[in-house]
Structure 1
Amino acid sequence: MRLQTLYTLKFFNPANYYFPTRNDISYTCNLPVGSISTSLANCLRPLSSAERIGVEANILATGITAFQLPMVASPGAIANASVVTLMINIIPPTPPPIYQVSGRIFIDRFAWNDVASSANTGFAINITVYDKTGAYIGAASTNMDGKYALSLLRGETYKIVFQIPDTHISTGTATTFFAFESAIYNIGIIQKANTGKTLRNFDPVSFAVSCFVVGSRSGPNADLPAMVSISANAVGNGYDASGSKFVTKLSKHFQVGAVSGIVYEPTSRNLYASALWKYNADFGPAGPCGIYMIDYLELDGSGANSIYADLSIIFGDNNYCGPQKSHNFTDRYQEAAMNMAGKMSFGGMTTDYRFLYVANLYRREINVIPLFETPNAANVRSIPVPNPGCADARDWRIFAVTFDHGALYVGGVCSGEFGGAQSMGTYVLRSSESKWQIVVSFPLTFARGCTNYDGGKCDPAEWSPWRAGLTQQPQLSGIYFNTKGRMILSFRNRIGDNAKGINPALDMLILCLDITGNWVLEYNGKCGKVAGYTQSRFGPGGGHFFNTELIGTHQYASSLFTAHAGSNDLIVSSGYDYVDYYTGSLRWFNASTGQVVKGFQVYNSGAGVGGFDKTFDKANGLGDIAPIYPASAINQCGLFYTGRVWNDTNGNGIQDAGEMGISNVKVIMGSPHPSTCITDQNGYFTFSGKSSSPHAVYITINELARRLTGPYKLSPKSECDADVTAFGYQTSLTSPAFGGYYFNKFLFGITWK
């Protein structure tokens, strides 16, 4: 700021003077010595409107301000004709208050939508900005690394359109953003040629399966296989000459011990396996908190197996996964071991191809472990899984964990150990924006048949509360979503981890979405209107969808775990006794009919074959199943169908800047893959799907009534593409050969009447 002489005046009392008006200047003046006037207010003042009347129009033209040099407080202090110097005070203009929207547009190599990944490079695009009236404000461009920063006037809202080229699509973030405050907004994109294919569009070439080995990892069975891969073409028996060609040994007992949760990461071709507590099956070298990595390309070489993470070391807590660090292989120890089954070490494990998510049974939490950086205390985090409704919180026992449509699902049971048999039940929870939502709950009191009925005698299979005994005790071990959007639950039996030579009754149940988007358990062998295997008179509603029987002997020989097996809704499950007794077996099911397609027996503990001193016969002898996909499946991603529910304030059917999204609305994709999601704080929702298929997305009347207070109506069609139907609001489209980000299709504008 500097002072500069602008005008020199002679004082005549009173007199009018006229000066330019500018936003970046203010006026002050210097008065003769002895003057008592010291400020602009006492030197010059603007004329009032009345005083300006009669002044020549050309004097008061635009850019002119009139001032009067008034009488001073003490007459005579400034004599007529005294010289008064008017000064201009040049002030740098005050910038208007702003907020900033910045971020990065990047090539999303693995469709992770993760801007932080070092695998992702920036991508340059153009950006257009509009105000709340729809008027064009300006344009900008990202730099060559895809970064941008927009400065916007505070208090104003803007519509920002990111101009993604026709050759690319977004991998899950809206390409139109509504700004009203500072934000970081990143968009991952991928070439259309790499879309439309998820791993489930490919048939697995094989399956990694864990096999539990009896005894110490340094004992006589140390070199027996603890994990194998089974060819998708497998038939017969893995222990016969004709069937052994379908089995490849991956890990030995001394290398990994008892492991269950298995994950295949296709870009690195690595397998990951988590420790499991099982009576008389030793831990691996990392103990109960161990995660192992197996280089699938190296197969059976000793260098292929390594400890990927030991959480007890990472967190400096020897009891992080439970108090029992090793096994004592004596009968005296069995009762104590029975009490630990399902309560310590790890359960299931899954991945979003950025992190491993493993169920910590001891802490009732999900441990999240990075895949592409060395795990440490700073980057391994934990997500507690709260008791969803067990009568006694001590009865809440998690195990199952999976991902579907970008959401994390965790399943468990109310064990009844403290709350009693009538309190036993199953829960599946979904994590959304760091909050858990119950999506499935049902009691475990329905009638079950016979775990064994050989010779006409029925050994009852009813679920019993957990205890240190050999009754049938449920563990929800697997959650699987098939290609038609149905949920399949696998149930291990806890007694299979407590003893050998027994007949644990497993189970396999299916749930379908109803028109309101809620999961409904099979009833009388039917999932909705789809009938499965209905010969059994037991199960929910007196029937059973899946044929889990070994006819004439066992009614519940499957499923320990379930995995995707191929096209045409084919799944594979682990269990026992496909044909022969005392075998660990895989069964392939048609998930649309519940019928068995084929089977493969991995091992046989029978006398003269495998030996009861090596494998665990029927007693949960197999663990988790991980599909292994061909190399051509790498770097493929699904399609993202996205929309928004918003408050269409002016009712024009267009998303204008300043019109807020409506959060916490349940939106349902009804076909071809029924699923649900919840709108986020800005009203956005995203589904993944397949190309060249009709898709319908709707919001039910009941959901609208739950979330909104009326009266309201659906906006007219413009950007809003929804129709009013008998059950709610619905949008639909048929995707092109290459799908993409249909931001301007699945839109629901809500206008209040």
Structure 2
Amino acid sequence: MWGLAFQKESNKLVSAAFVKRHAGLGPLGIDGLYISDYKTQTTGNYFKLSNIDPAISAGTDPHAGLDKDMLVANYDSETYKWIGKTGLGGIDFSEDGSILYVVNVFEKKLYEFPVGIPASVPTKYNRYDIPTPTGADSRPFALKFYKGKIYVGVTCTNESIAPDTTGMKGIVYEMTPQDFGGGNNSFDELGFKKVLEIPFTYKKGESFTGTPFSSHWYPWKSDYFSTPFQNQIGADTVGTRLYPQPWLTDIEFDDHDNMLLGIKDRTADQIGNRNYIPDPIFTSSSLIRTQGVGDLLVAGPCGPDGTYILENNASVCGGPATGGKDNNQGPGGGEFYFQDDMLLHQETSLGGIAVLKGSNEVITNMVDPIYFWTNGVRMYDNTSGQGVGMIEILPSNKTVASFGKSASLGDIELLMQCGNPPIEIGNRIWIDSNNNGFQDPGESGLEGVTLDLYEGNTKVGTTISGIYGQYYFNDSNVPEGLKANTAYQIRITGSQTRLTSYALTKISDNSDILTDNDAVASNGSYIVNLVTGNKGENNHSFDIGFICDLKPAAGARSNAVCLNTSIELTSSGGDKYAWTGPDNFSSFEQNPVINNATNAKSGTYSVTVYALNASGSNLFSNSGFDSSNDDFSSDYTFTGDNNPETDLTVNGKFSIIKLPNNEFVPSGVKDHTTQTSSGYVLLANGATNGNSRVWYKTIPVKPNSRYRFAFSVLNTSISGTP
């Protein structure tokens, strides 16, 4: 088995037959589908494509000579060349669970089966021709249904021109399904659009450490004896055959619509483990195995016209590179998911992936998660590319039955017993104070705005934004609930009273979809166009920004301010400021800001400006005591300069001291006029009689004028007596 598809509505898993050498097919053969009931833990036959009228061919079972004992080696020679060319590939359900899609590898066609809920055996189908850009060398397999579109992965194998790798690549095509109609319709490949190319000429990590040959992809080869393997003999005399062949086998999408790609090594399904070479005459007793590991890649939705761009040197769409930058193991010289090396392998992926939306993680199958010759799964962070955990599923086993490192595990499907989980969309209406189109810290929400939700021209829900501007549409205000993968419009009527003072902000250049404005103006309304995700997938990224558009009244001395915006008060020309205003407002800031203005803040604001540093000359000619005791008076007796020990032994005397003077003046004292440790200070011995003035000067002043008087005083001591 490889292809898996889970119908959440019925909790049933569909699995598809897969052609792998040394592994027989189930009772339904090469075109069989099986169904497992998640509740009862039982599995049974579902249907064969060839049993539907008209019959569908998935090729002929190539297996022969398989022993019933899985521990017995076998040749299975014919199957070797048919790997990836016959049988079934990827399968998936439509997002409403009613249609099953199946890739027919043999016919190179996509089949669409209306199976209903719960899944029943279909009686009709539609089929689509999958593009084959390189003719016979084009091999479709990977499949994903996402947001109403089908994505099919095709590998251009270069088999017919081997060993030339020019143009060897993977291609992902996008297609919108046609209305099913009456069924049994055929559609050509014209409906498919190429959205991604993956050049398989990049250097990857070594499949087995110490084998540079295995760090490259090579054209497909279907003849064992002409394949230029790198051969190694292990300690147990079993030969290891290395020849990595790229095979695009899985497609998923993460929370940011990045496309994740599972790459399988086809050689893993051709060789097996400790099994015979594909000898057509069944005489060779040589046992072989391989180190069949693939890769995990990512592409971002940043190409023109809805296309994707493959990761480049560990970066997606020019974003921050992960720790795999420049490690020489991925496209552009580095790999985004860089912690995929374990034990003796620089690559460990087996081509199957799954994503749980909301987790920001991808899970992939792998070899050696814990120990040699084990198989399991590895989880990676979709932002950092780091590994965040691993689980061993198959314990260490080197036998024929285990398949060892020859892709022992199939695809991965998440079984979520959630029936029909609800969807919620919305988030926030905010006031874009700086009109830049995205939310900055501190910008307020806009409360009381009415929003309507439309599906086509039908209004299906209404809500009102909350105190912080938040709004949501969900089962509480959309009576029929939100549908998965459906186009909706959020509409805000511009004429509503709450918005009479506001206009829509601009569309931002900021790439952060979680904080930018998503609305556009149209015919007096503000519109957000959106498409919902899968069932249970919430999206809280739909934000709508407004700017204050209130015009000031005629003759007003300031701009008008909208409710919930900021009042910015400005003043200048002084050293200190004192503001007063409505609602007991006061502030000593020069330019205070009042956030989230309410009606109570409406009115007149006044400021008193104190010009302490007024322009003009210093009225004191000896403010720094540079001229000793000139230009001031004192009730103390001047004893002379720089002689405090002798002259200041009597109270009521003073001296002028030159700095520095650590004997009588504490270390670090500065001249307050120059703010340096050089200059002069007045040193005085306190008077015994009260009200004695150490320093005073009479100056003429102007009425109603401001003056600044600045001085510095320090208490010190001489000979320990304060």
- What residue in structure 2 maps to residue 355 of structure 1? 99
Counterpart of 1:382 in structure 2 is: 127
Higher Cα radius of gyration: 2
The answer to whether 1:497 aligns with 2:269 is yes
Residue deviations 1:705-742 (CA, integer Å, cap 9, x gap): xxxxxxxxxx97415758xxxxxxx989999x9989x9
Q: CA 1:405–1:463 in 2, change beyond 3 Å: closer, same or farther?
A: same
Residue 534 of structure 1 aligns with an amino acid whose one-letter code is G
Q: Spell out, residue by residue over 1:55-80, the C-alpha distance to the aligned partner (whole angstroms, 9 max, x if none).
A: xxxxxxxxxxxxxxxxxxxxxxxxxx
Shift of 1:293: 0.5
**Alignment CA distance shift 1:553-1:298 (3 Å):** same
Q: Report the AA paired with residue 523 of structure 2.
A: S
**In 2: Cα distance, 1:426 partner to 1:733 partner:** 28
| Letter of the 1:371 counterpart | V
The question of 1:271 aligning with 2:13 is answered yes
Q: Distance between the aligned counterparts of 1:311 and 1:588, measured in 2?
A: 35
Equivalent position amino acid for 2:302 in 1:
D
Match of 1:428? 172
5 Å-filtered alignment, 1:649-728, equals 717-718=522-523, 721=526
Q: Is the 8 A contact 1:475 1:491 kept in 2?
A: yes
Q: State the match for 2:51 in structure 1.
A: 313
Whether the 8 Å CA contact 2:487–2:531 is kept in 1: the answer is: no
Opposite residue 590 of structure 1, the aligned amino acid is D
Change (3 A) 1:515 1:463: closer
TM-score, normalized by length of structure 1?
0.49
Aligned positions of 1:550-589 closer than 5 A? 550-551=341-342, 553-565=344-356, 567-589=358-380
**Counterpart pick for 1:525 among 284, 295, 314:** 314
How far apart, in 2, do the equivalents of 1:360 and 1:555 lie? 33
**1:310-459 correspondence to structure 2 within 5 Å:** 310-315=48-53, 317=55, 320-324=57-61, 326-329=63-66, 333-352=75-94, 353-372=97-116, 378-387=123-132, 389-390=133-134, 393-420=135-162, 421-432=165-176, 434=178, 435-453=191-209, 456-459=210-213
Show CA shifts across 1:80-138 (max 9, x none): xxxxxxxxxxxxxxxxxxxxxxxxxxxxxxxxxxxxxxxxxxxxxxxxxxxxxxxxxxx
Instruction: Give the superposition deviation at 1:336.
Output: 2.0
- Pairing 1:110-125 to 2, within 5 Å after superposition: none
Q: Is the 8 A contact 1:565 1:588 kept in 2?
A: no
Question: C-alpha separation between the residues in 2 aligned to 1:697 and 1:289?
Answer: 55
Matched AA of 2:307: N
Deviations 1:200-233 (A, max 9, x none): xxxxxxxxxxxxxxxxxxxxxxxxxxxxxxxxxx
Q: Match for 1:484: what amino acid?
A: H
- The alignment status of 1:460 with 2:214, answered yes or no, reads yes
Could you give the per-residue CA deviations for residues 365-420 of structure 1, whole angstroms, max 9, x where no partner exists?
11222332886674223222122x32xx0011011101111111101110111144
Distance 1:372 1:359, change over 3 A: same
* Residue 478 of structure 1 pairs with residue 246 of structure 2: no
Cα deviation for residue 697 of structure 1 reads 12
Q: CA deviation at 1:696?
A: 12
Q: Quick one: structure 1 residues 698 and 402, their matched pair in 2 at CA, closer, same or farther if it must change by over 3 Å? A: farther
The residue correspondences of 1:590-669 to structure 2 (distance < 5 A) are 590-606=381-397, 611-631=398-418, 634-637=420-423
The one-letter code matched in structure 1 to 2:403 is: F
3-state DSSP of counterpart to 1:277: coil
Could you list the per-position Cα deviations for residues 290-328 of structure 1 after superposition, in whole angstroms to 9, with x for gaps in the alignment? 0001111111xxxx22111101222465x8111226443
Q: Distance in 2 between matches of 1:513 and 1:281?
A: 38
**In the TM superposition, what is the alpha-carbon distance from 1:266 to its structure 2 partner?**
1.5
Query: For residues 311 and 441 of structure 1, what CA distance do their matches in structure 2 show?
Result: 31
SS of equivalent residue, structure 1 residue 526: coil
Q: Is the 8 A contact 1:696 1:731 kept in 2?
A: no
CA RMSD of aligned residues (A): 3.9
Residue 479 of structure 1 deviates from its aligned partner by 0.8
1:579 deviates by: 2.3
Give the alignment of 1:209-288 within 5 angstroms: 259-288=1-30
Instruction: Give the C-alpha shift of residue 616 in structure 1.
Output: 1.2
Alpha carbons of 1:620 and 1:552: their partners in 2 closer, same or farther (altered >3 Å)?
closer
Q: Kindly state the Cα deviation for residue 626 of structure 1 after the two structures are TM-superposed.
A: 0.9
**Aligned equivalents of 1:738, 1:279: Cα separation in 2:** 43
Identity %: 22
- Would you say the 8 A contact 2:265–2:350 is kept in 1? no
Matched with 2:40 is 298
Q: 1:533 to 1:562 in 2, by over 3 A?
A: farther
Please give the alpha-carbon distance, in whole angstroms, between the structure 2 residues aligned to 1:426 and 1:344. Answer: 18
Q: 1:640 to 1:339 in 2, by over 3 A?
A: farther
Distance 1:411 1:449, change over 3 A: same
Task: Give 1:94-133 correspondences, 5 Å limit.
Answer: none
| 2:30 aligned counterpart, secondary structure | helix
1:433–1:573 CA distance, 2 compared to 1 (3 A): closer
Task: Give the aligned residue type for 2:345.
Answer: H
CA distance in structure 2 between the aligned counterparts of 1:534 and 1:732, rounded to whole angstroms: 35
Q: Report the Cα distance in structure 2 between the residues aligned to 1:734 and 1:463, rounded to whole angstroms.
A: 38
Deviation at residue 433 of structure 1 after TM alignment: 5.4
1:395 and 1:278 map into 2 onto residues whose CA distance is 19
Separation (CA, whole Å) in 2 of partners of 1:329 and 1:593: 45
- Paired with 2:531 and 2:151, the residues of 1 have a C-alpha distance of 28
> Cα deviation per residue 1:128-171 (whole Å; 9 max; x = unaligned)?
xxxxxxxxxxxxxxxxxxxxxxxxxxxxxxxxxxxxxxxxxxxx
Name stretches of at least 5 consecutive residues in structure 1 with no aligned partner.
1-258, 642-685, 701-714, 723-729, 746-753
Relative to 1, partners in 2 of residues 1:461 and 1:739: Cα closer, same or farther, differing over 3 Å? closer
Task: Compare the two structures and name the one with the higher strand fraction.
Answer: 1
Residue 533 of structure 1: how far off its partner (Å): 3.4
> How far apart, in 2, do the equivalents of 1:639 and 1:408 lie?
24
CA shift in 2, pair 1:738/1:560, >3 Å: closer
1:543 and 1:338 mapped to 2: Cα distance?
Answer: 33
Which shifted more, 484-493 or 527-536?
527-536
2:332 is paired with a residue whose SS is coil
Matching residue of 1:506: 294
Amino acid at match of 2:169: G
Distance 2:2 2:505 in 1: 38
How does the TM-score come out when normalised to structure 2?
A: 0.51
In 1: Cα distance, 2:538 partner to 2:173 partner? 33
Using the TM superposition, give the Cα deviation of residue 634 of structure 1 relative to its aligned residue in structure 2, in angstroms: 2.6
For residues 307 and 531 of structure 1, do their structure 2 counterparts lie closer, same or farther at Cα, with a shift above 3 Å needed?
Answer: same
Does structure 2 conserve the Cα–Cα contact (< 8 Å) formed by 1:576 and 1:618? yes
Q: Secondary structure at the match of 1:383?
A: strand
Which letter does structure 2 place at the counterpart of 1:364? K
d(CA) in 1 for partners of 2:417, 2:172? 31
| Change over 3 Å in CA distance of 1:488–1:732 after alignment to 2 | closer
What does residue range 25-40 of structure 1 map to in structure 2 within 5 Å?
none
Indicate conservation of the 8 Å contact 2:293/2:407, yes or no. no
3-state DSSP of counterpart to 1:496: helix
| Contact persistence 2:488–2:529 (CA under 8 A) | no
